[in-house]
Amino acid sequence: MPSTPLPTAFLSIAELILPWLTPQELASISCTSQTLSHLSKRITTVRSSDASRSLENFPIPFINSVDSHPYSFFLYTSTYLLPSPNFLRQFWAWSPSLSTNPNCNSQFDFDSVDCVGCDCSEICNESDCSCFALRGGDVISECGARCACQSSCPNRVTQKGISVQLKIVRVLNKGWGLFAAQFIPSGSFVCQYAGELLTTKEARRRQQIYDELARGGRFSSALLVVREYLPSRKACFRIDIDATRIGNVARFINHSCDGGNLSTVLIRSSGALLPRVCFISSRDIEAGEELSFSYGDVRLRTDGLQCFCGSSSCFGILPSEDT
């Protein structure tokens, strides 16, 4: 590597450009000089310290004592977004020259602008709020964008981002997993399942691609299909969320054949076009415990991926069904 120091102006530009690069691009550029190698290592350290790119209330670090992977690379969103060919890169590594987070514009709002919410004042009362009255069945209702209450309202729990401390840990055989970094009481909101919101046609197209990649080994998709059935059970509303390329930390939650310690709940903000898929702790969760839920009960493929959940009721293979 050349030992000649690089100009200050070049270093300033590098600090703004390098955080947009993929791990492969960072590795390539780090070979060109000692200074760029140092900057690349610093970016890797920052990325390992917070998977959420400062978009969540707490940093969510990667911890790996199994192999040499410092972090998992993906684009981060804290809610749903529509597939966009323009969302190909994302700033990941904080620069002291920036006063605002350039990722803040990556968020999308699916609340209906024409909806009418509750007319409560600042904080909703459960006995009086019309949004509370909508609770019941398989979908829980929260106050929404057009409600008169403030953001501190207790009926907006899942809209305030992740409010418990989490960590992403490399696990032997499983790969990455999401773990509690604090005690989480039963009934607590943990996180939303965020990612690209797909049509059924696109979800099926991608699943075929993912299945082919999985046959080659060492590939795991994060495509979640949720079905909301009508009371008659004769029809259902599908929600297809793909967090494989763009998602949040929920993409690291592993399956458990015994149902795990998380429950999947549909939560709709008052007037919102679509419900959000959220995870609620189904029991008390101790600090250091892995978070898990059931991917389903159907196993159509006898040659499916091996399950390493370790529960006493483990089936040996992961759930699989037609998308």
246-260 mean pLDDT: 95
Strand (E) or helix (H) holding 229: strand 223-229
Residue 50 lies in a domain: no
Residue 25 lies in a domain: no
Residue 92 lies in a domain: yes
Q: Residue 164 in contact with residue 188, Cβ under 8 Å?
A: yes
CATH number at 255 reads 2.170.270.10
Alpha-carbon span 163 to 153, nearest angstrom: 15
pTM of the model: 0.88
Least confident among 28-37, 55-64, 245-254, 286-295:
28-37
Residue 61 lies in a domain: yes
Residue-level pLDDT at 12: 79
Strand (E) or helix (H) holding 8: helix 8-17
- The two beta strands, 236-247 and 195-198, are antiparallel
Alpha-carbon span 273 to 279, nearest angstrom: 20
Q: pLDDT for 154-204, tens place per residue?
A: 888 888 899 999 999 999 988 999 999 999 999 999 999 999 999 999 999
Cα distances (Å, whole numbers) of residue 58 to 54, 150, 161, 162, 183:
8, 22, 9, 8, 15
* Residue 302: pLDDT over 90: no
Residue 230 lies in a domain: yes
Look at the alpha carbons of 4, 10, 12, 15 in this order and tell me if their dihedral is positive or negative: negative
- Give the chain's domain count: 1
Residue 70 lies in a domain: yes
Alpha-carbon span 295 to 173, nearest angstrom: 18
Alpha-carbon span 221 to 242, nearest angstrom: 8
The two tokens of residue 313 are 């009721």
Q: Which domain holds residue 181?
A: 56-109+139-293
Alpha-carbon span 42 to 144, nearest angstrom: 40
Residue-level pLDDT at 114: 53
The two tokens of residue 218 are 């060492």
Q: Residue 265 in contact with residue 300, Cβ under 8 Å?
A: no
Residue 62 lies in a domain: yes
Residue 19 lies in a domain: no
Of 123, 119, 86, 120, give the one whose Cα is nearest residue 105: 86
CA-based radius of gyration for the chain: 21
Q: Residue 294 in contact with residue 316, Cβ under 8 Å?
A: no
Residue-level pLDDT at 57: 93
